[in-house]
Amino acid sequence: MRVVAAMSGGVDSAVAASRMVEAGHDVVGVHLALSQSAATLRESARGCCTIEDAGDARRVADRIGIPFYVWDMATRFREDVVDDFVAEYAAGRTPNPCLRCNERIKFAALLDKAVALGFDAVATGHYAQIVERPDGTRELHRAVDSAKDQSYVLGVLDAQQLARSFFPLGDTTKPDIRREAQERGFYVASKPDSHDICFIADGDTRGWLESRLGEQPGDVVDEHGDVVGRHSGSYGFTVGQRRGLGIARERQDGQPRYVTGVDAATNTVTIGTADLLGVDRIRGDHARWCGPAPAGRVRVGAQVRAHGEELPATAWADGDDVHVELDERLRGVAPGQSVVLYEGTRVVGSATIAEATLAR
């Protein structure tokens, strides 16, 4: 099988590419240039897609003896991921750019280009597993290493994309991957993982957004609508946030306050006590199914954060919408996040959270 191995320059994609070669596939390494102004060197362990990363990926490709190319997808990445990220925050929502990147770049733009060039599939260093059923259809499952499991950010893949995807690391723990990379003589064996948002290298999301959206002063109000503080832009807040609220300590009455709502239309941030954060009803749109959509109401596990807790729930599809009834309350659920549904270790599908409420 002819396979494009997406090589970020990190240890995971390096081992994934080498495993695909050893499995007998005809592999070509591809590094995605996603930044229009790639830095020469990495800034700590944050970020990716630097010139250094491309060089690291090329060295691995040379060592395992496969062709290597850099594909420029910076414009597509800016439009489909970065601009979307800014627009979502400006609208008062909290997006997950990793899901958007997987949906629109790695398993859409990259996969489409690979297929157009005559390749059969794409392999990545994600920690997840593909299970092939007797009828030939494929299922997406959690990785063996629960601490590194990335099935949540892959919950946007549909059956056609899964049919052309390989995740060679899903059956291995991260320490074992690093040992394997060391044994293979890869320079990147001890390279730190990138984390947080790749295009915000210093991790200051609020500052990054402010540089693009400008200061937009507004009110911070309590659950009664009384003004208790001021902010420089509602886009800098997300439901469940506790730090950086800009309110006087004496206003808290000894109890911590959290963001309970962000209204972009009025540029207002609402705060309240922890008991006001709990929800047990979620409605999501932009449904994506990793196979057939569920028929009727089904029991699932629901997860709303990449490394969050999975909670038992009942879910059903309604056109492009997904409704989820949680068995217990969950705090800090923000519009714009994704809810990913599981049946055991199998990923059923996902949706973007449109609203989260508490049943009365």
The separation between the first and the last C-alpha atoms of the chain, rounded to the nearest angstrom, is 55
Does the active-site annotation cover 101?
A: yes
Q: Annotated catalytic, 198? A: yes
Digit-coded pLDDT (tens) for 50-103: 778 899 999 999 999 999 999 999 999 999 999 999 999 999 999 999 999 999
CA distance 119 to 16: 17
- 333 bridge partner residues: none
- The pLDDT of residue 14 is 97
Q: Are 26 and 64 in contact (CB under 8 A)?
A: no
What phi, psi does 347 have (nearest 5°)?
-85, 120
Give the model's pLDDT for residue 50: 74
What whole-number distance in Å separates Cα of residue 228 and Cα of residue 246?
Answer: 9
> Could you say which of 49, 98, 101, 290 is catalytic?
101
Name the fold adopted by 2-190. Rossmann fold (3.40.50)
pLDDT of residue 183: 97
Q: Which two tokens stand for residue 141?
A: 């499952």
Q: What CATH number does domain 279-357 carry, 2.60.40.420, 2.40.30.10, 3.40.605.10, 2.60.120.10?
A: 2.40.30.10
Mean pLDDT by runs of 10 across the 360 residues of the chain is 96 98 98 73 52 91 97 94 96 94 93 96 97 92 96 96 97 97 95 81 89 95 92 94 77 79 96 91 96 94 94 95 96 95 98 90
Q: Model pTM?
A: 0.92
Cite the residue boundaries of each domain of the chain with CATH code 3.40.50.620: 2-190
CATH code of the region 215-276: 2.30.30.280
Q: What is the pLDDT of residue 31?
A: 96
> What residue spans in the chain does CATH classification 2.30.30.280 cover?
215-276
What CA–CA distances, in Å, run from 193 to 8, 47, 71, 119, 178? 11, 9, 22, 29, 11
- How crowded is residue 146: how many other Cβ atoms within 10 Å of its Cβ? 11
Catalytic residue among 48, 98, 198, 290: 198
Rg (Cα) of the chain, in Å, rounded? 21
Euclidean distance between CA atoms 340 and 349, whole angstroms: 6
Residue ranges of the chain that CATH labels 2.40.30.10: 279-357
